[in-house]
Amino acid sequence: GGLPKLIWLSAVFSVFNTVQCMVSPLGMTRRIYSQQPQQVTPLTSHVFAAWTALSAILRYKCAFNMDNPLVYDLTFWSYVIAGTHFTSEIIAFRTIRFPGPVISTFCVAFSSIVWMMKDRDLYVK
C-alpha cells in the first residue's frame, strides 16, 4: 500500500534533516523559523536533530512493521507531535511564516495523521 511508502519516505527525509541540523545547524533551521531566526542556535538545532533522528527510527520501523500496534501508534503520535509543534510555532509563537519552507513537513505530518487514522484497522492486527 501507499501508506508504508509514505512513512518510509518520511523516514528518509528525516535522516537528511537530522544530518543537516547537525552539520549546518543554522542553515535550513533559520529558514524554517524565519520570523524569529535569532532564536535558532546551534543547540536548538541539535535538539531538533535528536528529535528528528528518533522520529526517523520510529517511521522506518513502522514502514516495515505496519501490523505492530505499538510501533504504529508511536509513529502516529510522532506525527501528531510534529504537527502540533509546527502549528503552535505558526499560530501561537509566530516563529514560522506559513506557507514557507515548512509547508512540505506540515503537509506530510497532517496527511500521515489522517491516513494512519483512516487505515489503522487495515494494518494493525
pLDDT digits (tens, 9 = 90+) for 71-101: 999 999 999 999 999 999 999 999 999 888 8
Q: Indicate whether 7 pLDDT > 90.
A: yes
Residue whose C-alpha cell reads 538545532 in the numeric block = 45
Q: What is the mean pLDDT of residues 101-110?
A: 91
Residue labelled with grid coordinates 528528528 = 52
Q: Are residues 98 and 32 in contact, defined by beta-carbon separation less than 8 angstroms?
A: no
Place of cell 543547540: 43
Distance between CA atoms of 52 and 65, rounded to whole angstroms? 20
* Cell numbers linked to 107: 503537509
Confidence at residue 61, expressed as pLDDT on a 0 to 100 scale: 98
Give me the mean pLDDT over the 50-68 stretch.
Answer: 98
Read off the amino acid at residue 56.
Answer: A
The pLDDT value given to residue 107: 93
